[in-house]
Structure 1
Amino acid sequence: MLKAAVIRQALPADWFELGELQARSYHDAYRRLLPNDFLSKVTAENRQAGCRERLRDNQEYTAMLLVDNRAAGYISLGLPIDARSEDGEITALYLLREYWGHKLGTRLMGWGMERLRERGCTTAGLWVLEKNAGARRFYERRGFRPDGQQRVVMRGDAFVQLRYEKEIEA
């Protein structure tokens, strides 16, 4: 049973723990969807290096979900670059597998949508692998819909991502 779950903005001092969380949750999410040789290159060490730089330079807006003071998930947001843009983006939302099914992803999503709303965003977008049916259901149950855009990304092989979008309630 889960005790205390808290969401807070990631701090520069979180780089080590966040990098480990990113690698583990990425493996959990894509274990059967992406090639093993690609996943083997996603390590805590290379994620930690990126986290250290981005958090130090304040290059992204990332929050961590802590359950019983242990990192369990995170969300990263892409905020509007200029005052004319009203579109925000959820660039990452991941949980460790052992926390799936406890509505913690919904809490992270709500936290992120609230931050985008506070920044004046009226829509939120995100990209999801076309073949990731579980993630697509998660987003669709929370009101996100495909907007018709697609892109191909390389993850060991070529994969199609779909863009989803949702209006942010004022």
Structure 2
Amino acid sequence: MSDSRTPLARVPLSRVPLRVREMTLADCPRVAEIRVRGWQSAYRGLMPQSYLDGLDVSAELTRRRAHFEQAAPGVVNLVAEWAGEVVGWACHGPYRGEEPPAVDAGRDGGAGDAELYAIYVDPGRTGRGVGRTLLRESVGRCAAAGHDRMLLRVLRENAGARRFYERAGFTADGAEEPYEVEGVKVPEVRYARPLER
């Protein structure tokens, strides 16, 4: 006789509600794991493998706790939870650029802009809408807070991430920033999206 119960791991994510909520200090261990595994998965072939292999969850946990406890005003950490398990994390807040970014004619720049600092999904849960749900929530919260635009940075060679943001209404604004890992240049491009209130 077969067991009619389906283990949760086999249930399609679309059949279980995905919940987005604000992160708590207790979420830091899982967020640290997601961030490290996310880097190791998403940046394979884009960054030196020795650097990716050297990423350490316990060291990242120390950083996540410090960042969380010392977050600047306006910084929001969100987690996506599926059946009680944290499967994704996003962080946004005020734009961090040293100078206001280039803006459309007639718009004020800088002070009214938000920035998506990070978004990572457990590599075993990618392609199931977790990232889209987190991004949609971050965009909505930034619009509700009165920000004019949301900006983000993405590795220039990360074609998959660039497509993800473009499908969500972000466009490259022409700005590029140098970024180097273990002597290898991995420049980032900046994307922007106007926010509707």
TM-score by length of 1: 0.92
Q: Within the alignment, does 1:158 sit opposite 2:185 as a pair?
A: yes
C-alpha deviation, 1:80, in angstroms: 5.4
The superposition leaves residues 90-141 of structure 1 with CA deviations (integer Å, 9 ceiling, x where unpaired) of 0111112222221221111110001111221010000011100000011111
Measure, in 2, the Cα distance between the counterparts of 1:94 and 1:16: 14
Structure 2 equivalent of residue 72 of structure 1: 87
Q: Number of aligned pairs?
A: 168
Q: Within the alignment, does 1:35 sit opposite 2:80 as a pair?
A: no
C-alpha deviation, 1:151, in angstroms: 0.7
- Bigger Rg over Cα: 2
Structure 2 equivalent of residue 145 of structure 1: 171
- Structure 1: state its 5+ residue gaps: none
Measure, in 1, the Cα distance between the counterparts of 2:174 and 2:20: 32
Q: Which moved more, 1:160-169 or 1:113-122?
A: 113-122
More strand per residue: 1 or 2?
1
SS at match of 1:121: coil
Structure 1 equivalent of residue 33 of structure 2: 20
Change (3 A) 1:97 1:16: closer
Whichever residue aligns with residue 53 of structure 2, its letter is S
Percent identical pairs in the alignment equals: 26
The superposition leaves residues 138-170 of structure 1 with CA deviations (integer Å, 9 ceiling, x where unpaired) of 111111111110011112211111000000111
Say which of 38, 41, 44 aligns to 2:57. Answer: 44
Q: Which moved more, 1:64-73 or 1:52-61?
A: 52-61
The superposition leaves residues 48-71 of structure 1 with CA deviations (integer Å, 9 ceiling, x where unpaired) of 001111212234421111112112
SS at match of 1:111: helix
Structure 1 equivalent of residue 195 of structure 2: 168
Structure 1 equivalent of residue 131 of structure 2: 105
The answer (yes or no) to whether the contact 2:92–2:118 under 8 Å persists in 1 is yes
Q: Within the alignment, does 1:114 sit opposite 2:140 as a pair?
A: yes
Q: Within the alignment, does 1:85 sit opposite 2:85 as a pair?
A: no
Say which of 125, 136, 148 aligns to 2:151. Answer: 125
Structure 1 equivalent of residue 5 of structure 2: none
Structure 1 equivalent of residue 9 of structure 2: none
TM-score by length of 2: 0.80
The answer (yes or no) to whether the contact 1:29–1:94 under 8 Å persists in 2 is no
The answer (yes or no) to whether the contact 1:74–1:93 under 8 Å persists in 2 is yes
Measure, in 2, the Cα distance between the counterparts of 1:135 and 1:15: 24
Measure, in 1, the Cα distance between the counterparts of 2:46 and 2:185: 12
Whichever residue aligns with residue 130 of structure 1, its letter is R
The superposition leaves residues 76-96 of structure 1 with CA deviations (integer Å, 9 ceiling, x where unpaired) of 102258xx8110000111112
